[in-house]
Amino acid sequence: MVLAIVLVLLVVGSVLFHYLSPWYFTPIASNWDAIDETVTITFWVTGFVFVVINLFMAYCVLRYRHRKGKLAHYEAENKKLEGALILGTTVGVIAMLAPGLFAWAKFIEVPKDATVFEVVGRQWNFNYRFPGEDGVLGTVDARFVSDTNPFGINPDDPHGKDDILIASPELHLAMGKPVKAELRSIDVLHDFTVPQFRSKMNMVPGLVTYVWFTPTRTGTFDVFCEQLCGIAHFAMRGKVIVEEGPAFQAWLSSYPTFAQTSTQVAGDAAAGKPLFAVCAACHGPQAEGNPALNAPKLSGQGGWYLKRQLKNFKEVPGVHTTKMSLVR
């Protein structure tokens, strides 16, 4: 009797939690409502099975409990019951899989008018590359990746000269315009996810994967890496800002092209060495960081990160160690 009551309470509690819980999908901000519909159908199918099976178990526990003078009846097989179970299972599986297949067919078919841009993942941030005036992204290769060419753009490819490089965790997109994001990783397995867009895809070293979507409302949304990519995986995140076309173009024009970054004068390491002695006192002689002082490592960080930290250091002199550890 107690077990039967527990099973019934489990069903009632689960159903109430599903409908009353505040944790559900974030409001959608792209064209992928088909993915929401697919998940909802899966909830209905699995929820129906969950309720039926648990209530049936509660009934069996109560109906066929042990009683004196009652003997169990053994039945080797029941073809009608087996047929009904096979038919019901088949219908349930088809109901869950078929909508997903249709959604996936649309997910991999990129519109011809979609704007192509690139997302590059590395430990532990995202960088972005947009085509320039020619509308074509230049070719890339891992052997070209360096401190001065973090995207690995082929310097001999004329299509890459005007590519616009976004060395920032903040990505802007134009509202209502379909986009195709080509995804690359230059070190380990990463993932590009925007929950509000319902789109995600792994970033595999040596491969170019992609996702496409159409932003349907303006706003600021989070970008996450949902693959465990190393010790600072938790910090690999960014922002997507969806805005109107003119604002997007203004943002895009504020960043340099590959040709412009290639002609920048290199820094003088010898002249900077005495200046770095002040930083080394906390962050280590090799910029490896010092956990005892809450001083993060500086080596291997993106240029945008170092500029931000130096700005914070100038704004709040004397407390830069704490400030840097907090903003990170």
Task: Note the pLDDT of residue 240.
Answer: 94
Helix ranges (H only) for the chain are 2-20, 33-63, 79-107, 245-253, 258-262, 269-283, 303-315, 320-327
CA 213/CA 220 separation, integer angstroms:
16
**Nearest in space to 224 (alpha carbons), one of 213, 212, 235, 208:** 235
Contact yes or no for 154/248 (Cβ under 8 A): no
Task: Note the pLDDT of residue 322.
Answer: 43
User: Which residues have C-beta within 8 Å of that of residue 217, sequence separation ≥ 6?
Assistant: 29, 175, 242
Q: Give the pLDDT means over successive 10-residue stretches in the chain (328 positions).
A: 87 90 88 90 90 90 81 81 90 89 89 91 89 88 82 87 87 93 92 91 91 94 90 87 92 88 68 74 82 77 69 61 42
Dig out the tokens for 175 from the structure.
């509202």
User: Which residues have C-beta within 8 Å of that of residue 243, sequence separation ≥ 6?
Assistant: 172, 173, 174, 175, 218, 251
Contact yes or no for 196/223 (Cβ under 8 A): no
Task: Note the pLDDT of residue 328.
Answer: 43
Beta strands at 209-213 and 199-203: parallel, antiparallel or unpaired: unpaired
pTM over 0.75: no
Task: Note the pLDDT of residue 199.
Answer: 85
Task: Note the pLDDT of residue 314.
Answer: 67
Task: Note the pLDDT of residue 325.
Answer: 43
Task: Note the pLDDT of residue 266.
Answer: 61
